[in-house]
Structure 1
Amino acid sequence: MNRRVVALALSLGVGLLFAPRLAFAESHVSEAITHTKQAIEHGKMGHADVLVTHAEEAVKHAKAAEAEKANPHVKEGITHLDQAIEHGKMKHADVATKHAEEALKHLEMAK
């Protein structure tokens, strides 16, 4: 009985050690999703410069999430956000918006 209690306590301790790290990764993904949605909203209005601002914030959060816990959907989301930024800087709001929408799909799958 004592061994079971010790084993349970040890496993709970290890679990608690990693819980904050996972919570931060999820938090960064949520922030990336929020900024990506804002980028899409502004892109649809033709505001390429504001789209770029939000997409850059989304990339920061997505990269932080990826650093904490690797996820292929987050990685793909970053790729599309980078494309959204590139096209947004060229004032191609329509193309940038399409990439942001694709990024959103992947980021939501990562959540």
Structure 2
Amino acid sequence: MKNILSILAMAAGVLLFSNGINASGYANKTESGGEGVGSMIQAIKHAERARTHKAHAEHILQNAEKSLEYAKKAEAEAIEGGNDKGRRPITESIRHLVEAINHAKMGHTDIASEHITDALEQMHQFATQ
């Protein structure tokens, strides 16, 4: 029961956070006026899903891989858009996602979850720049 409540709380947080980004206009532009951060928002959503599956390595792996795909796309968009300030958080989030994927493949769910949390911190930093 405690896990269900935790998952529901996380889901509510994801919905509130993603709506806040969309409402504030972050989904359509970056500070530099380049490409949008829509890919990063998708990366965040998948990373949040990965984090809710703390005890299930396969679910962490699937969502972390999807998050990594979107984070790499966001990195390409930041480079194309000339967003130099955004590149460091994206690079760090990608590094943490790769580590999370590697640990999830080995069944180290606790370590994978820690890397997901660190990746999310960097993603949020990018999205709010």
Counterparts of 1:70-89 in structure 2, within 5 Å, are 70=79, 71-89=87-105
Q: Distance in 1 between matches of 2:42 and 2:90?
A: 12
2:50 pairs, out of 30, 39, 54, with 39
Q: CA deviation at 1:68?
A: 1.2
Root-mean-square deviation (Å): 1.4
Residue 22 in structure 1 maps to residue 32 in structure 2: no
Q: Deviations over 1:59-89 (max 9, x none)?
A: 0000001011141101100000000000000
> What's the % identity of the aligned pairs?
34
Counting matched residue pairs gives 89
| Alpha-carbon separation, structure 1, partners of 2:78 and 2:118 | 21
- 2:83 matches 1:66: no
Match of 1:55 in 2: 64
Could you tell me the TM-score, scaled by structure 1's length?
0.76
Greater helix fraction, Structure 1 or Structure 2: 1
Mapped to 1, the partners of 2:91 and 2:126 lie a distance apart of 10
Higher relative contact order (Cα pairs below 8 Å, separated by 6+ residues): 1
The gaps in structure 1 that reach 5 residues or longer are 1-17
Unaligned segments of structure 2, at least 5 residues: 1-31, 80-86
**Which protein shows a greater Rg?**
1
The alpha carbon displacement at 1:22 in A equals 1.5
Distance in 2 between residues matched to 1:40 and 1:50, nearest whole Å: 9
Query: For 1:22, what is the secondary structure of its paired residue?
Result: coil
Distance 1:33 1:75 in 2: 14
